[in-house]
Amino acid sequence: MSSSTSNLIALAMGVAIALSVPTDADAQSAPLSAQDSDPNVMGWMQGFPPPEDKIITQPDSVYFSFPRLRWSVCHLREFLPTKEISRGLGAPIPLIYPSPSDFADMRAEIDAVTFTPQNSNEEMTWEESLYANYTDGMLILHKGEVVYERYFGCLEEDGKHAIMSMTKSFTGLLAEIMVVEGALDDTALVRDIIPEIGDSAFATATVRQVMDMTTGVKYSEDYSDPNADIWLYSRAASPLPKPENYEGPDGYWEYLQQVEPEGNHGDEFHYKTINSDMLGWIISRVSGKAVTELAAERLWRRMGVEQDAYQTVDGTGVPFAGGGITAGLRDLARLGHLMLNEGELNGERLFPAEVVANISDGGDQSKFSGFSTIPDGSYTSQWWVFHNDHGAYAARGVHGQTIYVDPTAEMVLVRLASYPRAQNGFIDPTSLPAYQSVAEFLMSRN
């Protein structure tokens, strides 16, 4: 099985792949372009029924392999059981737009913004980067106003898109709110909150180490090794009925109870999704609420969002706190705006400003390494902090999804995407410098 196929299977089983550095072998194969792999061009699932070779079905190795994944990222609920993140029953609060002509002018100006990709000498325009990156949706807010909004591929303005590991930042934000509000002690040990964690390596980690992914826990994602932890995790997480002879853990939480140690807690940042699931369990135990319910109660019902979001679940009904959310582009922009505004939205305070300060200040950079596209970064409360001169920070998903908050430029940028490979190492070089250039462009305008 090829590495990328295995990655995709694992992903579809509900597992978010670690951001990793592309290998030479990966770089050699050239997938279809964004335009050629557009699901509407490919003709997936059109007709009643679609032609046989255009039907996308189970198993996950089919529906979540490129180019099919470009359709499936907008349709995960059609393959998997899910829980709702309810917006409640009230009226949405519309985003603010410039006049149509100003909006069109702004789009043209932004499309023409140029930048130099990482590891390259050739300039690229903003618009070119959207195709280079297999973008499905892009929305930019500047000083609270929508200055750019485009949809591609499977996504439309009333559609939704899988955000994969950006889900972690929902989980981390909810945890950080509970910490600042005093409901959760981030110096507590996991075993003091969840006694049945037993002998798991997580038992002796602090909540903060889980939040910042500095735990010393074994979790191998070597896809060529049939005994790698990723496979055990995938089988545990699958919502399909377990095979009769199955003896492994059932669901995320049983998996977490048998994690072995690797290294020391607190020593180093290691991007391992199981920390997010551990954190999801912690905040559910402490609050008495599922992460979907917490997200609805603390965020979605109070943000004036337009659409319910949803989250995939394992076979015991536990939402995938490390990667399971699907949501609308504009609603994710509302979340970014809430972060930029330090916890206030539509004139209402949703949580203390300290929550955002704790995140945007970043984690311990000395413990952060291994991400060549973010050399000075850190990771805290499940958010990526760039430590650049704009103080930017982000939620990031494995196919190029992001909520990118630039406090200096007063810019929030949301990107939904379906990059063929599950590796931000490929995606960042044409993304991060582009975001910086657009931020500078917006700052130059007023």
- Under DSSP, the state recorded for 160 is -
| Single residue of 57, 118, 120, 369 touching a copy of itself by CB under 8 A | 57
The count of residues in the chain is: 446
Choose the stretch contacting a copy of itself; rule: CB under 8 A; options: 171-179, 302-310, 362-370, 379-387. 302-310
Residue whose C-alpha is closest to residue 313's, from 296, 291, 282, 297: 291
Choose the stretch contacting a copy of itself; rule: CB under 8 A; options: 79-87, 161-169, 338-346, 363-371. 79-87
Positive or negative CA dihedral for 332, 76, 301, 17? Answer: negative
Q: Interaction with a copy of itself in 82-101: which residues (CB under 8 A)? A: 82-84, 86, 88-92
Q: Least distance in Å: CB of 343 to a copy of itself?
A: 24
Distance of CA 293 to the CA centre of its chain: 18
| Single residue of 174, 313, 345, 356 touching a copy of itself by CB under 8 A | 313
Choose the stretch contacting a copy of itself; rule: CB under 8 A; options: 215-223, 234-242, 364-372, 394-402. 234-242
The reply to whether 248 sits near a copy of itself by the rule CB under 8 A is: no
Give the span between the Cα atoms of 45 and 340, in whole angstroms.
Answer: 39
Choose the stretch contacting a copy of itself; rule: CB under 8 A; options: 304-312, 357-365, 409-417, 430-438. 304-312
Give the span between the Cα atoms of 299 and 305, in whole angstroms.
Answer: 9
The reply to whether 346 sits near a copy of itself by the rule CB under 8 A is: no
Give the span between the Cα atoms of 87 and 308, in whole angstroms.
Answer: 5
- DSSP calls for 101-142: HHHHHHHHHHHT-EE--TT--S-EEHHHHHHHTTEEEEEEEE
Q: Interaction with a copy of itself in 138-197: which residues (CB under 8 A)? A: 157-158
List the x/- string, 17-46, binding to a copy of itself by CB under 8 A: ----------------------------x-
Q: Least distance in Å: CB of 281 to a copy of itself?
A: 7
| Single residue of 176, 221, 277, 306 touching a copy of itself by CB under 8 A | 306
| Single residue of 191, 235, 285, 367 touching a copy of itself by CB under 8 A | 285
8 Å CB contact between 379 and 363: yes
- For 183, other C-beta atoms within 10 Å of its C-beta total 12
| Beta-strand relationship, 402-406 and 325-327 | unpaired
| Single residue of 133, 307, 431, 437 touching a copy of itself by CB under 8 A | 307
Most distant pair of Cα atoms in the chain: their distance? 65
| Beta-strand relationship, 325-327 and 383-385 | unpaired
239 vs 400, which CB is nearer to a copy of itself? 239
Distances (CA, A) of 127 to 2, 110, 123, 160: 32, 8, 12, 22
The reply to whether 115 sits near a copy of itself by the rule CB under 8 A is: no
Give the footprint of a copy of itself on this chain (CB under 8 A): 45, 47-49, 55-59, 75, 77-84, 86, 88-92, 157-158, 239-241, 251, 253, 281, 284-285, 288, 290, 306-308, 310, 313, 315-318
